[in-house]
Amino acid sequence: MSDDVLDAATDYETILVTRYGPALVVTVNRPRALNALAQQVVAELLDLTGRLVEALPSVDAPAAGEWVCRGVIVTGTGEKAFVAGADIREMSGMTPEQAEAYARDMHRVTLNLEALPVPVIAAVNGFALGGGCELAMACDFIYASENAAFGQPEVSLGLVPGFGGSVRLQQRVGVGIARELIMTGRRITAAEAHRIGLVNQVFADHAALLDAARDTVDTIAAQAPTAVANAKATMNAVAHRSVADGLDVEAAAFRAAFTTEDSRIGRDAFLSKESASFSGR
């Protein structure tokens, strides 16, 4: 782990950052407000994710930066809530301009999570409402505990999704279901979220959920770092293109993979029937 990132993390008051092997676990820690995303939480998430983007290698420059972690797990403190949304108490005193700035800061957090060259897993351990559901959807995929509940209840507050839900929910579950959920504000269980494809897997409780997320980071950490980064960046880039345009992006990514040391190591290891020891370059 980069000392810089962990050193900076000791100053945070609303998020906890812990290392477990190759995984960095980021825990939103405001249990008395069900981990709602107060402006301080957003500022700390922005600082952390910005530092990680800086510290890690990028797909364009795999030799720069260090593999300070091989995966990020985002969760909330306690069994009751992942994140119960934006902070409604704080929002009640905001001007429209302040509300937009708040939304734009959180947009930057979600874009940073998508820009990271490592997988980001949401481990949803209870309520993931409004901004909580939106934070989870900015992660690569979502695991949940049985007591998780998802929803975009903004219309019940006279608001609309503001942290990316209008865009990402449609991508995740399709246009019809997303529109129904956003227009009704209806809350759904982990089982329903699993059925509609919002959640990949459901686990008995928070401990089992975190174990599974860490196991998945271990599995991904055994793969070629540059290839995982390339695959993520490619899937982000093609998400909104036609098939033909997307195939062009994929072809360029496939070509780029052949410029990495990892791809040579991986192919040589396969052909010599040995396990690969990747360099991350």
In whole angstroms, the minimum distance from the beta carbon of 81 to ligand CO8 comes to: 7
**Cβ atoms < 10 Å from Cβ of 158:** 6
In whole angstroms, the minimum distance from the beta carbon of 12 to ligand CO8 comes to: 19
93 residue type, one letter: G
In whole angstroms, the minimum distance from the beta carbon of 207 to ligand CO8 comes to: 21
84, 34 in Cβ contact below 8 A?
yes
**Sequence-ordered alpha helix ranges (H) in 56-174:** 88-91, 96-115, 131-137, 165-173
Q: What three-state secondary structure class fits 55?
A: helix
In whole angstroms, the minimum distance from the beta carbon of 153 to ligand CO8 comes to: 4
Q: What three-state secondary structure class fits 202?
A: strand
> Using CB atoms within 10 A of its CB, is residue 237 exposed (0-12), middle (13-18) or buried (19+)?
middle
- Toward ligand CO8, which CB reaches closer, 85 or 266? 85
- How many angstroms separate the CA atoms of 162 and 141, rounded? 20
CA distances from 130 to 88, 161, 268 (A): 11, 7, 48
**Positions in the binding site for ligand CO8 (CB under 6 A):** 33-34, 36, 84-89, 91, 99, 102-103, 127, 129-131, 153-154, 157, 159, 161-163
- How many angstroms separate the CA atoms of 111 and 13, rounded? 22
- How many angstroms separate the CA atoms of 114 and 108, rounded? 10
In whole angstroms, the minimum distance from the beta carbon of 166 to ligand CO8 comes to: 10
75, 31 in Cβ contact below 8 A?
no
- Toward ligand CO8, which CB reaches closer, 22 or 161? 161
Active-site residue set: 134, 154
